[in-house]
Structure 1
Amino acid sequence: MPTGSKRKAPSAPRDPADDCETPDVAYAHIAPLLRKLAQRLGKPPGALRIWDPYYCAGGVKARLGALGFGDVVNDPDADFYDVVDGSRPPPPHDICVTNPPFSGNHARRLFEYLNSRGERGEGKGTTKGGPVARFVVLAPEYVHRKAWFEAPRGTFFMVPSRRYSFVAASGGRRENTAVDCRHWRRERSCPRGETCPFVHVGPGIDPEGERVAEEARRARANAGFSGGGGGGDGGRVTVAPFDCYWHCHLGEFTRSVAAAWRQKHGRRGRVGVRMVDGVEGLPPPPDKSAKRARGG
């Protein structure tokens, strides 16, 4: 599923569904946390050093910059996995704010790296359990249910009231029509409908009818069709909404920053996001069987 800023190890196959960027609204939801962290570090928000290790189209700098965070590192020539394997150091930073590719094992490798950073690198704080990395990571809603998932004690989640629709960096469907949609091949229906970036043609049933319908869908996409919701991204192509949460740990300031957010925003019903203290309070998995029964 498309997600935020992307860069993969050169040896990994490219998944076009990963070529999407995080929408403005998602960054707006975590901006109060970042401002409070900057205050705790004794610096203005514009001087908070933010590192996004996954590069897509560089939009993270503009989006965070519009919120007052002007010191953002998102290097198109740097590969995060060079940092993971120790061949290059991470850039100086106060916190890692990122949205890893949802495909493959990228989320797992990111969290394993963050969990290993207690004794090395920048952007770490200290808790009673020892040093811990500061991070705010947007990841799929199922990540915390994975057997490999571990997070520092005190990690909390920011859960949006509406699913985020990500911004296609490479033209969405227009750019990715050579890739078959696995939902369409398996079920002859797709939950993403017109916003799906993959090809809705497969063997059997009525291949000629599917081909004609697919050409019509491509024509609409090439004419600038945009679906799946807004997010303040200027009419650029967006993809179908996806269930994901911000996974947050701010080092030694985790408890105080979370408490400050609750005091200011916790009782307001229109902020578009709520804070959840632990995995026990997260919503149950979405019911995908009902969606499939309706044909998408």
Structure 2
Amino acid sequence: MDLEEPDFSSLFTHKPDLQPVLTALCKKLKKRPSQLVVYDPFFCKGGIRKHYEALGFTSFVHENRDFYKDVEAGALPDYDILVTNPPYSEDHKERILDFCLRSGKPWALLLPNYVATKAYFSSLLADTATPPPQRPFFLTPRVRYTYDHPEGTGHAESPFYSIWYVGLGSHTEAVYGSCRAKLDAGGGGGSWDVSLARSVEALRQAKAVPTAKRLNPKQRLRLKKKQGLE
């Protein structure tokens, strides 16, 4: 599925924030980074493959295919973890979350922080009967990610703050514990410039999610016009 549509695609020029998570998962699976199969179902023509290969994750599956059709046909590749920055338009966020929670396999999604406060997020956790130990944890970059907008609008900064939602099935608690220990032992993680939260409530306490109700698209457009941004 090609991401050449009006969506924000992350520029992977930031620090490799997810690397410690992937490394900890490798240890649980008894695999080297080069053996960990990382699957990104939403195709992007940028240099994302080089990003993973530079980190040692050379078994990277990223092809221009229709993810949802592959799901229906049972044609997904065999993978160890699904990692993606999905399109934020339409119902992509809900659909990929639903798939990941039902898959029983490790996953990490880069999504707007406000998703954690949405009713559909808590409903999906309940509907998929995800037990508390396997519910995702949250990795928040301390530096806001920049984005490349395919329409060429020039707006590199997105109107939302993106964070990583990480669910690793039966390995979730162990990997979270390993990552928490890394942060605590390194005086904040050293070069790993992130914060971790084990629950939505912890995100709220850290003020990592919006507390005010998000404006609808028409309201946001009116606000932009009022501010002279459009």
**TM-score, shorter chain, exceeding 0.5:** yes
Give SS of 1:157's match: strand
CA distance in 2, matches of 1:47, 1:145: 35
Structure 1 residue 286, shift from structure 2 partner: 6.9
Measured after TM superposition, the shift of residue 16 of structure 1 is 2.4
Q: Between 266-275 and 57-66, report the one with greater CA deviation.
A: 266-275
Cα distance between partner residues in 1 of 2:31 and 2:209 = 38
1:61 aligned residue (25, 40, 49): 49
Residue of structure 1 aligned with 2:96, choices 110, 128, 133: 110
Q: How does 1:232-247 map to 2 (within 5 A)?
A: 239-241=156-158, 242-247=160-165
Alignment match, 2:35: 47
Partner of residue 89 from structure 1, selected from 67, 75, 85: 75
| Per-residue deviation, residues 93-140 of structure 1 (Å, max 9, x unmatched) | 0010011101111011101111222xxxxxxxxxxxxxx221011011
For the 8 Å contact 1:161–1:272, the answer to whether it is kept is yes
Q: Please say if 1:251 is aligned against 2:223.
A: no
* Partner deviation per Cα, 1:170-205 (whole Å, 9 max, x = no partner): 4723xxxxxxxxxxxxxxxxxxxxx33xxxxxxxxx
Identity of aligned residues (%): 30
Decide whether aligned partners of structure 1 residues 141 and 284 sit closer, same or farther in structure 2, where only a CA change above 3 A counts.
closer
1:66: how far off? 0.9
The structure 1 residue matched to 2:179, chosen from 235, 256, 261, is 261
TM-score normalised over the length of structure 2? 0.78
**Structure-1 separation of matches of 2:171 and 2:102:** 19
- State how far apart, in whole Å, the 2-side matches of 1:273 and 1:156 are: 13
Deviates more, 1:268-277 or 1:243-252: 268-277
Q: Return 5+ residue gaps in structure 1 as ranges.
A: 1-5, 9-13, 118-131, 174-194, 197-238
Note the C-alpha offset of 1:294.
Answer: 6.2
Q: Which amino acid aligns with 2:161?
A: D
* 1:56-109 alpha-carbon deviations (Å, 9 max, x no partner): 115221111111110010111x1111123x124210100100111011110111
What are the superposed Cα offsets for residues 225-264 of structure 1, whole Å, 9 maximum, x if unpaired? xxxxxxxxxxxxxx11440110001121111111111112
The whole-number CA distance in structure 2 between the counterparts of 1:278 and 1:75 is 33
Offset of residue 21 of structure 1: 3.7
Matched, 1:166 2:126: no
1:145 aligns with 117
Q: How far apart are the structure 2 equivalents of 1:135 and 1:17?
A: 21
More helix by percentage: 2
Q: Once superposed, what is the RMSD of the aligned Cα atoms?
A: 2.5
2:37 matches 1:25? no
Aligned equivalents of 1:97, 1:251: Cα separation in 2: 14
